[in-house]
Amino acid sequence: MSLRRRLLATVAGTLVAALLLAGCGDPDAGGSAPPPAFDPPLGFAAPTGTLFGGSGSRVFGRDADDLPAALVGTTIWATDGGRLVHVDSTGAAIPGPAAPPDRFVAGRPVATADGAVLVGGASVVPGSGTTPPGLSVDLLAFDAGTGALRWNAATVLPWTERPPAVAMTVAGVVAGVAVLTASTDAQRTALGIDLTTQRVLWSADGVAVDAVLADGPAGGTALGVATAPGASRAYAESRVVALDAVTGLRRPDVAGGLGRQVLRAPEITPAGPGLAVVSGRTAATTLAAPSASLRFVDARGAQVRTVDVGSSYTPPRCVWDEAATTVCGGDTRVFAVDATTAAPLWELPDAGANRVAPRLTTAWHGAVYGTTVNGPVVLDARTGADRDTRPGAAPVLVNAYLGLGAEASGVAGFGGGATIVPAVR
């Protein structure tokens, strides 16, 4: 099953500012002030280190949507081969964080407003007599500053599998609830965990939650994909579902026609605080007639806008810049929409202006990062205009201090690794 675009677990702009202060400062800086912050950065220095390199890494490739890493202040949190990784801007390990020895952690860590970093983990429940072993999953909360384990919330799933085969996705936090999904190619269960009481509030078997959206001043929606148990999300018929983030109850009004539409390989990504992108292949897709689908929906599942993606098997990948804009890019096209209304803003290529479309790597706080035949480039997220034509790198993850970019050499896991590039302007 494709694991692309899960994620995604984004933090609103005001929250990011708090996190930068909570997690700033490399330990090798001797207690000195953190480096200057650039919000957003428009230029990067030469690589200072790598992540996911060497034969011990189990992270392959550099797909931005699958990369199990998060930038928190001047440091990087990641998971690799069941281990929790916390490194500074040179790639050197920062002592402190460690998951319990029997937990296999996986997926992209997610930072929270109170200075925690959330990570999903799995462990085997020992069997006894005629009772076979089971599978337990945890949401682990670490202190972003000290690395200490603050708490963990565990529950036993209704299906079993060896932990290395279980993907863990923290979809995000809304209304004080974190939503965690544990999945294999054939099974999936979503969980809602109260961050105040550290209790598991609900579970939804057969559902993988990809995005959480704010829905009013105190509510939230967990948007996910329902696939029959034993079936692969990549190939089987699936449907979009919406769960109340606090109760886990399905919202019957979700998506109208979208909730009844059959999709194959569906993916959901945040497109704003209350907006998401739903993509996939429609049931009408054949080898001779590919039919990709891309729609923007609100927290109630109502369709806000449908995008014509032409005759394609793969819809564009979309990235919310955690501010006001969502940018989508495919093989030959890049376009941007407003993160509140999904109204179109700009599109490339533009033959009249003699401008090509860059290959999108990411977007953050009003800046769009990508590459063309001329090398890395930064665009303005609201207008699409060139903002910097020599940024030095096109990171796939970025914050005010760092970028995490393409591999240094080879393939990650076989001597390569994702490069760490400090922001310099």
Give the pLDDT confidence of 150-165 residue by residue, as tens digits.
999 999 999 999 999 9
Quote the pLDDT of residue 3: 34
- The whole-angstrom separation of Cα 204 and Cα 248 is 7
Give the pLDDT confidence of 207-226 residue by residue, as tens digits.
999 999 998 777 899 999 99
Measured in whole angstroms, how far is the alpha carbon of residue 38 from the centre of its chain? 22
Long-range contacts of 28-36 (CB under 8 A, 24+ apart): 28/88, 28/90, 28/92, 34/73, 34/74, 34/401, 35/74, 35/401, 35/422
Q: So where are the chain's domains?
A: 13-422
Q: Which of 232, 244, 247 is nearest to 184 (CA)?
A: 232
Query: Do the Cβ atoms of 264 and 237 come closer than 8 Å?
Result: yes
- The whole-angstrom separation of Cα 421 and Cα 409 is 15
Quote the pLDDT of residue 136: 97
Segments of the chain with pLDDT less than 70: 1-32, 61-63, 253-260, 283-290, 407-416
In this structure, which amino acid lies at residue 369? Y
Quote the pLDDT of residue 29: 41
Quote the pLDDT of residue 20: 40
Q: Does the model's pTM come out above 0.85? A: yes
For 249, phi then psi, to 5°, come to -75, 140
Quote the pLDDT of residue 158: 94
Give the pLDDT confidence of 55-64 residue by residue, as tens digits.
778 887 656 7
Q: Which of 112, 107, 49 is nearest to 79 (CA)?
A: 107
Range 13-422: architecture per CATH:
7 Propeller (2.130)
Query: Do the Cβ atoms of 142 and 170 come closer than 8 Å?
Result: no
- The whole-angstrom separation of Cα 40 and Cα 423 is 9
